[in-house]
Amino acid sequence: MAPWEPTASLLALKARAEIAQRIRAFFGDRGLIEVFTPALAPYTASAPQLDSFKVEAGQAASPLYLQTSPESAMKRLLAAGIGPIYQLGPAFRAGESGRVHHPEFQMLEWYRPGYGLEELMEEVSALVRLFLPGFQPHHTSYRELFQQVLGVDPFDTAIDELIQLAEGSFSAPMEGTTSETNPDFWLDLLMVDHIEPYIRTQFPQGLYVTGFPESQAALARCQLDGSGCKVALRFELYVQGLELANGYDELDDPEELRRRIERDQRIRQSERLPAAEADERLLAAMAAGLPQTSGVALGVDRLAMVALGADRIQDVIPFARDLG
């Protein structure tokens, strides 16, 4: 293959065009408005696990960032009263490259004012069923997965035991960082190394995971579960072992959002990660009134991989090698 040629076949690229058309028709039939928000903005995601591309923008007073997702701007539109919306476009995450990762990828994100998580999961399944006829995913909880695979309760296990379970699987975190004493760091390692392979083999047809720890809520609301533990109102969907979608019952409390951003900033500082200032526009929009909303982000490249039977993300992206 010559260096100028696409990494994906022309047949795959034509199929991707049809996937985009069917997605737009799906949401058009359901009355959602397609929106377009900036790919460059003076703010970026605060989550420590997300690494953004920083762009020096000429005469701009401050640097700009390629957006890891359109979430912030779309929520500002929701606060303005636009109603149910979706966006199909590029997202950017530095340091993400591999068989199922690419620094630039296509994200489908949509928001449903008035929906709960169950309704949103039903809609996600209806969309996936366009490309995987007969799609009937299973449902389980984060706690149940850890109990089934590792025999531990992730909400009530000492960090020393988590470290022991993870020992030998991954390199240790940098000495002196909060990762050493952060249970979520070790839970994430166990999720990747033990839980996700189990999902891949036991639930290739699809699995919704719910009931994540409060500390992994990101921008989701939280509530007490039946056992009295505070859990995040969010889900992840795995299909054929790929994490395909991530949905939230969206946080609408600006003070809680500011607390979470400040916590992320402390973690970033302790782990020597680039700073990520609070998006004051989003905080102001939330204070003005964000409707009760559930929203979800879905990786379109991974959906194309599943639909086309591709093993690598570069097989469904036209010029993957241009970014290394």
pLDDT greater than 60 at residue 176: no
Q: Is 279 part of any domain?
A: yes
* Residue-level pLDDT at 96: 77
Which residues lie below 8 Å from residue 250, measured CB to CB, with a gap of 6+?
75, 111, 219, 220, 221, 290, 292, 293, 294, 295
Q: Is 167 part of any domain?
A: no
Q: Is 145 part of any domain?
A: no
Average pLDDT score over residue span 136-162: 95
Say if residues 74 and 87 touch (Cβ distance below 8 Å).
yes
Query: What's the chain's average pLDDT?
Result: 93
Counted domains in the chain = 1
User: Percent of the chain beyond pLDDT 90?
Assistant: 83
Place of tokens 């998006």: 279
* CA-derived radius of gyration, the chain: 20
For 149, the token pair is 């695979």
Q: Which domain holds residue 42?
A: 10-137+203-323
* Residue-level pLDDT at 45: 93
Q: In whole angstroms, what is the distance from residue 104 CA to residue 94 CA?
A: 8
* Residue-level pLDDT at 299: 98
Return the closest-CA partner of residue 74 out of 302, 291, 300. 291
Q: In whole angstroms, what is the distance from residue 82 CA to residue 74 CA?
A: 10
Q: Is 252 part of any domain?
A: yes
Map residue 63 onto helix, strand or coil. Answer: coil
Q: Is 117 part of any domain?
A: yes
For 319, the token pair is 């010029």
Q: Is 22 part of any domain?
A: yes
pLDDT greater than 50 at residue 82: yes
What's 60's domain CATH number? 3.30.930.10
Q: What is the pLDDT of residues 206-259, one digit of tens each?
A: 999 999 999 999 999 999 998 888 999 999 999 999 999 999 999 999 999 999
C-alpha to C-alpha distances, 233 to 113, 120, 249, nearest whole angstrom: 15, 12, 6
Q: Is 185 part of any domain?
A: no
* Residue-level pLDDT at 114: 97
Q: Is 196 part of any domain?
A: no
Band (169; pLDDT cuts 50, 70, 90)? low
* Residue-level pLDDT at 17: 97
Say if residues 276 and 44 touch (Cβ distance below 8 Å).
yes
Map residue 257 onto helix, strand or coil. Answer: helix
pLDDT greater than 50 at residue 174: no
pLDDT greater than 90 at residue 287: yes
